[in-house]
Amino acid sequence: MLELTILMPCLNEAETLAICIEKAKGFLARTGIDGEVLISDNGSTDGSREIAEAHGARVVLAPRRGNGIALSTGIAAAKGRFVIMGDSDDSYDFSRLDGFVEALRGGADLVMGNRFRGGIEPGAMPFLHRYLGNPVLSFIGRVLYGAPVGDFQCGLRGFSRDKILALNLITEQLEFCPEMVMRAAMAGLKIVEVPTTLKPDGRSRKPHLRTWHDGWRHLKLLLTFAPFSLFLYPGLLLLGLGSLLFLPLLFTPVSLGGVTLDTGTMIFAATFIITGFQLVWFHALARLFAVRMSLLPTSERFEALRARLSVEAACQVGAVFLVMAVLATLGSVGFWAAHDFGPLQPGTMTRIASLVAVLGALGMQSVTNGFLWGLLNQKSPVAAMDHPAGVPTVQKA
């Protein structure tokens, strides 16, 4: 096996491909590294493949269009123990990869370039990307996944080929790059950054990137793989806030300074409780599905929950809530009968109805979500659905 593969995805890059290959070959020659230059072609029609072969690069053909497809094809075909990948538009300098190789040799599993630390030449990055899109998406990635990366979208990065292949990355478009960082962080791989420069690309045509479309896809990916932040934490917040407001209002209006909280607030609180409870369930169901599909790592805490939670347990909890709803209904009817079915104090029936609605909703949610949990937890004859023994386990749930 070679030590290094310098990988470039390519889709009609005839204008810049040759100079990128020559810079990469020059780097290998200068450093004496045993390596190769690999072009993963994504369906070029401008002679890019012929240019690559003429300049001594090895070419593999991606089976279909998509930046992620081109990269995953190239990584699988790479002969190097380490891979450094970057765009073939001459915006990255392939002759200056020393920092990446040094970090990889030092034990890093993923080495990310940071353009904000290395320098961005005028005109190299659109204003919105530089001051809004990249900083915001990178901040969200650091918060949600704890990845020590200041430039999630940097296309120039190096990694241990085997470690990245083991992540089983699934995205096929530009989200492949942030998915690599997210999944590496969740798997506990060692991630470091090195400064890198970015200059305007050498192409005369517009880049493939679409600002708002691809920005939304990156954000969607960041949230999709974060069931804690998307479901659990908002759910617990709504559940706690709703309970804090709902329980005191069951009996009487509450005055806070010059503001009186009454049945209107109680209806909002009931909505918070029902929504929050369902979000907590969504987290459990999403985590179960993701673990079974090897999209997220499991944990000791989650496996303990998985062992204890069953359809029967969920139905028992649901039955308790439903019985309480029936008792609250019967109690309210008895209370009203004791007053000869006459008028009650304002808001009394609204309070009772809100209580019954909350208890009934929690009961039905417990039962129905319990059955869905049981369905997702069934043993499957399809190997891809089975939870493999090799899925990494982390201590923090």
Q: pLDDT for 280-292, tens place per residue?
A: 999 999 999 988 8
User: What are the tens digits of pLDDT across the range 152-170?
Assistant: 989 999 999 999 999 999 8
Residues 171, 258, single domain; the answer is: no
Residues 208, 263, single domain; the answer is: no
The rounded mean pLDDT for the chain is 89
Q: How, if at all, do strands 157-160 and 80-85 pair?
A: antiparallel
> How far apart, in whole angstroms, are the C-alpha atoms of residue 220 and residue 187?
20
Residues 180, 114, single domain; the answer is: yes
Residues 244, 170, single domain; the answer is: no
> How far apart, in whole angstroms, are the C-alpha atoms of residue 178 and residue 185?
11
Of 147, 167, 170, 304, the residue nearest 224 (C-alpha): 170
Kindly state the DSSP code that residue 383 receives in the 8-state scheme: G
Residues 202, 145, single domain; the answer is: yes
Instruction: Return the C-alpha torsion angle 110, 111, 117, 118, nearest 10.
Output: -150
Residues 365, 346, single domain; the answer is: yes
SS3 205: coil
Residues 219, 244, single domain; the answer is: no
Only one residue has tokens 């478009």, namely 173
Q: State the average pLDDT over residues 316-321.
A: 96
Q: Is the predicted pLDDT of residue 296 greater than 50, yes or no? A: yes
Number of domains in the chain: 2
> How far apart, in whole angstroms, are the C-alpha atoms of residue 111 and residue 118?
14
SS3 36: strand
> How far apart, in whole angstroms, are the C-alpha atoms of residue 120 and residue 349?
65
Residues 237, 103, single domain; the answer is: no
Phi, psi of 358 (to 5 degrees): -65, -50
pLDDT at residue 381, as a whole number: 59
Residues in the chain, total: 397
Structural domain for 390, as ranges: 227-394
pLDDT at residue 255, as a whole number: 83
Kindly state the DSSP code that residue 201 receives in the 8-state scheme: -
318 contacts: CB under 8 Å, gap ≥ 6: 362, 363, 364, 365, 366, 367, 370
Beta-bridge partners for 39: 8, 59
Show which of 224, 257, 289 is a domain's final residue.
224
> How far apart, in whole angstroms, are the C-alpha atoms of residue 234 and residue 320?
25
User: What are the tens digits of pLDDT across the range 31-60?
Assistant: 999 999 999 999 999 999 999 999 999 999
Instruction: Return the C-alpha torsion angle 72, 76, 78, 84, nearest 10.
Output: 40
185 contacts: CB under 8 Å, gap ≥ 6: 145, 146, 147, 191
Phi, psi of 283 (to 5 degrees): -60, -45
Residues 130, 217, single domain; the answer is: yes
* Model confidence band, residue 380 (pLDDT cutoffs 50, 70, 90): low
137 and 222 in contact (C-beta within 8 Å)?
Answer: yes
Kindly state the DSSP code that residue 206 receives in the 8-state scheme: P
Which one is predicted more confidently, 58 or 394?
58
Q: Is the predicted pLDDT of residue 387 greater than 60, yes or no? A: no
pLDDT at residue 196, as a whole number: 95
